[in-house]
Amino acid sequence: LIKEMANNTPQLLKGFRDFGPGEMTARQIMLAKIRAAFERFGFQPMETPALEYAQTLLGKYGAEEKLMYRFSDAGGREVAMRYDLTVPLARFYAQRENELPRPFKRYCIGPVWRAENTQKGRFREFYQCDVDCIGSKSPLSDAEAVAAVAAAIADLGVEKIKIRINNRKLTGGILAMLGVSPEQSIAVIRLMDKLDKQPEKTVWAEMVSAGIKDDQVAKLFGYLNKKVSGPEDVRSLFSEVLTENSLIGEGVGELCGVLETLEFLDVKNVVVDLALARGLDYYTGLVCEIVLPELPAYGSIAGGGRYDNLIGTAGGLGKPVPAVGMSIGIDRLIAALDELGLATGMPSDGVLIFNLDERFLKTYLTVSRELRKAEINSEVYYQTEGMDKQFRYAEKKNIGLAVIVGEDEVKKCLVTLKNLTTRKQRQVKAERLITEVLSELQ
Amino acid sequence: LIKEMANNTPQLLKGFRDFGPGEMTARQIMLAKIRAAFERFGFQPMETPALEYAQTLLGKYGAEEKLMYRFSDAGGREVAMRYDLTVPLARFYAQRENELPRPFKRYCIGPVWRAENTQKGRFREFYQCDVDCIGSKSPLSDAEAVAAVAAAIADLGVEKIKIRINNRKLTGGILAMLGVSPEQSIAVIRLMDKLDKQPEKTVWAEMVSAGIKDDQVAKLFGYLNKKVSGPEDVRSLFSEVLTENSLIGEGVGELCGVLETLEFLDVKNVVVDLALARGLDYYTGLVCEIVLPELPAYGSIAGGGRYDNLIGTAGGLGKPVPAVGMSIGIDRLIAALDELGLATGMPSDGVLIFNLDERFLKTYLTVSRELRKAEINSEVYYQTEGMDKQFRYAEKKNIGLAVIVGEDEVKKCLVTLKNLTTRKQRQVKAERLITEVLSELQ
């Protein structure tokens, strides 16, 4: 068996990925931009461990729970790998409530693990990127979470986005007004989300099979299909039914509050979509989805909403804690950036000092040192070898510039610079090295 | 049981840590500096998954292997959580050898998991931070790994370090020359490492109990205690025994090659320590440790060496692949920075716009927008509330500056700035806001 193992080339687990230098560099640049955008809005970073007591995570994810990586550790504890970033946040918040600023505005970017069906193109390890505000009911906290995510996406170069928003209280209020029971509402809300992908007829039929009467569906669709843009539209649409039940009034108030705050924050491309529900049961107010109109097939690249019960329940606090959050689907966003021609890739960067003559090693190393002092990434090729090999090395690493110093250059105190993007080369005086390298790398 | 679970406040697992905003900000700043230092030397980032086939990791870590987090996943695969960053690198390299630049210079920063005894103050999830060069035997690759780590530590503000280096071939050669058998050598090398912490007498006695004769130990200590500084010292010390066996000659050659290259790279504070062994069996050439002379109790904060066999074996390549790497002990380094007064902490940063009057919300949000456009982190307090509460919020978040706009300011087109570090406040013209905020935050 040991022999057999030694002969097997180790493999990556199905559904897991390596990130080589190219992908990793691109991801780091992207994540740095997202982090900076979140921090501009006053969100601060935090991190929780990869493992939690299984008990902390169980009962929080419904039927999906079976996808959790769970096991007993060597000490007999039932543990589970992080399944999302929100339930650990609840545990963290419950343990530190008194020392944290209130509201607590945090962001968190990290991998989560789910034993997904890989046939569907899903990964078993993927990054989540969440921004949340815990402890405030203010519409400003809703609007800011949306604005921070919109700013992050804009900073990545995406110009055309559509921000769809709705309010769960309003949805609940409409359903209650139409006489749909709370039990039926859960099914209806899930079916509403399908209106995006399926013809109205199909969804209508499914609602009827779920026990909703035809005239209830008709009235519901009457609302869902209304074109609504600003807070005025929302108010006028519901003006006559505002007191039908408390949910409608509250929902309209919250939705308009968020819309107005988003306007003050100069967030563009916001549309109200009364059919937007977002299946998850835990939303209690705002729901939001960001889509790319140019790439409808991608679905939403970010989404979230208000969830005023989850933190208190999952954190075992025995009281509701208001919370709102948005999450960016990093993998989907990267794929979208790629398709839009906005992916950073591995930018051409840095300098390779060719290693042509052993006698000049000290010179090569001195040049690399001077470049590094000027904060220019630079390295000397490892051994004297043919120019071809050294060029190929530079190409594989996407290095921007070659510095070539041979006998001739040394004698004349010159340095040859070869721009590896334009393929042009020129000789410069050794004392002007830094200046010339900087101008080539610009 | 369900009731009992609901009543329990979820807890963090023993040996695991949360990083709140303060710690996390400090860690991000630190890791960004380390990354930048590595990239200046041409190392590129990569990442492998948290889970691997258990078979990939088993048999690579000796007796410590029992600390590995292993389990069967839902598909019946035996999997294990990442135990270090080196064995996954071997698997990655084996799978991509042909597409990677050669040599492959990578760095990797990420958590690893070990079920350590937490009584010893060890964590079960901790970050490793490795820089490695795969595929070159050049002394430049050894020197560069050391130089990159030294540069990273210097960039964190640490001025006094000591870089101890030695060569495993040389150690092996000395032991062979003294007639110590290869089997005994493993024990002797482990005991040599203890010379740092224990009196010579104790180590001497332990060597004798390991079967080494008194006169062998005496001769060995004769070498280990020699003061050696530069390559000349090394050459003269071994000049008469250079041909005793091939290991001594090779070891001296490699050690001197690395010393000279480190000199060319202007790396200071390098000392040869012939007693340095670094227990791990897999080192085959250079061994290196970086210590802080001001904090001897911390032991080494970085270390590594050449390991020409591991990549080929662990990657199942059936051939040796030369490799050299250094690793920074992030947790130990952070603790050391703290003790040296060099920890970044959470820098005072950003602006809080006080929320004093609902009528001015639009003004507050416009101010925050303008600040953000100028890349200044800023936020509006969530609701109108007493100044005290808003100051306390700013303090908890370590915000640098308060922007206060009340009725009086609005009338006069003024803005009050209160520097939260100096506690000084002044009024400025609204149109000079950005300039004045930038000057306060400097």
ipTM of the complex: 0.93
Asked whether A315 and A94 are in contact (CB, 8 A), the reply is: yes
d(CA A93, CA A72): 26
d(CA B32, CA B34): 5
pLDDT for position A1? 42
Q: Which residues of A touch B399 (CB under 8 A)?
A: 42
pLDDT for position B7? 52
Structural tokens at position A106: 């945090």
Q: How far is B67 from chain A (nearest CA, A)?
A: 8
d(CA B61, CA B67): 10
Q: How far is A295 from chain B (nearest CA, A)?
A: 28
Chain B neighbours among A 323-342 (CB < 8 Å)?
none
Asked whether B175 and B185 are in contact (CB, 8 A), the reply is: yes
> Residues with Cβ < 8 Å from A414, sequence gap 6 or more?
A408, A427, A428, A429, A430
Distance of CA B242 to the CA centre of its chain: 37
Mutate to test the interface with B, among A8, A264, A358, A393 (most CBs of B within 10 A): A264
Does B95 contact A28 at a Cβ distance shorter than 8 Å? no
d(CA B184, CA B182): 6
Helix, strand, coil share of chain B (percent; to 5): 45, 20, 35
In 10 A of CB A157, how many CB atoms?
13
Structural tokens at position A234: 């929302």
d(CA A237, CA A263): 20
Q: Which residues of A touch B66 (CB under 8 A)?
A: 74
d(CA A182, CA A180): 7
B21 touches chain A (CB under 8 A): yes
Residue A80 backbone phi and psi in degrees, to 5: -145, 150
- Where chain A has pLDDT below 70, the residues are 1-8
Helix ranges (H only) for B156-230 are 168-177, 182-192, 200-209, 214-224
pLDDT for position B385? 94
Does A52 contact B379 at a Cβ distance shorter than 8 Å? no
Does B41 contact A379 at a Cβ distance shorter than 8 Å? yes
A157 touches chain B (CB under 8 A): no
Burial of A72 (0-12, 13-18, 19+ CB in 10 A): exposed
Residue found under tokens 């967030």: A267
Q: Which member of A6, A46, A379 has the closest CB to residue B316?
A: A6
Question: Which chain B residue shows the shortest CA-CA distance from A140?
Answer: B382
Does B372 contact A151 at a Cβ distance shorter than 8 Å? yes
Residue A101 to residues A1, A42, A322, B290, B350, Cα–Cα distance (Å) = 56, 12, 14, 39, 15
> Residues with Cβ < 8 Å from B79, sequence gap 6 or more?
A13, B51, B52, B53, B54, B70, B71, B72, B73
Residue found under tokens 């740095």: A32
pTM across the whole model: 0.94
Q: How far is A20 from chain B (nearest CA, A)?
A: 5
pLDDT for position A7? 52
pLDDT for position A12? 95
DSSP 8-state symbol, A10:
P
pLDDT for position B431? 95
Mutate to test the interface with A, among B23, B140, B330, B352 (most CBs of A within 10 A): B140
> Residues with Cβ < 8 Å from B172, sequence gap 6 or more?
B185, B247, B251
Residues in chain A: 442
Mutate to test the interface with A, among B14, B130, B373, B382 (most CBs of A within 10 A): B382
- Selection from A382, A375, A434 nearest residue A403 by Cα: A434
d(CA A301, CA A293): 11
> Residues with Cβ < 8 Å from A60, sequence gap 6 or more?
A83, A87, A310, A314
Residue A29 backbone phi and psi in degrees, to 5: -65, -45
pLDDT for position B347? 81
Q: What is the mean pLDDT of each run of 10 residues along chain B (442 residues)?
A: 56 96 94 97 98 95 93 96 97 95 97 92 94 97 98 96 96 95 89 89 94 94 91 95 93 97 96 89 94 92 96 91 97 91 84 96 96 96 96 96 95 96 96 96 88
Q: Please say whether the dihedral angle defined by the alpha carbons of residues B390, B391, B397 and B403, taken in this order, is positive or negative.
A: positive
d(CA B76, CA A268): 49
pLDDT for position A62? 85
Question: Which chain A residue shows the shortest CA-CA distance from B389?
Answer: A102
Does A10 contact B94 at a Cβ distance shorter than 8 Å? yes
Asked whether B86 and B42 are in contact (CB, 8 A), the reply is: no
Q: How far is A85 from chain B (nearest CA, A)?
A: 12
Mutate to test the interface with B, among A35, A380, A396 (most CBs of B within 10 A): A380
B366 touches chain A (CB under 8 A): yes
pLDDT for position A16? 97
A18 touches chain B (CB under 8 A): yes
Q: Which member of B19, B79, B369 has the closest CB to residue A13?
A: B79
Q: If DSSP states are collapsed to H, E and C, what string results for A360-427?
A: HHHHHHHHHHHHHHCCCCEEECCCCCCHHHHHHHHHHCCCCEEEECCHHHHHHCEEEEEECCCCCEEE
pLDDT for position A100? 96
Does A55 contact B362 at a Cβ distance shorter than 8 Å? no
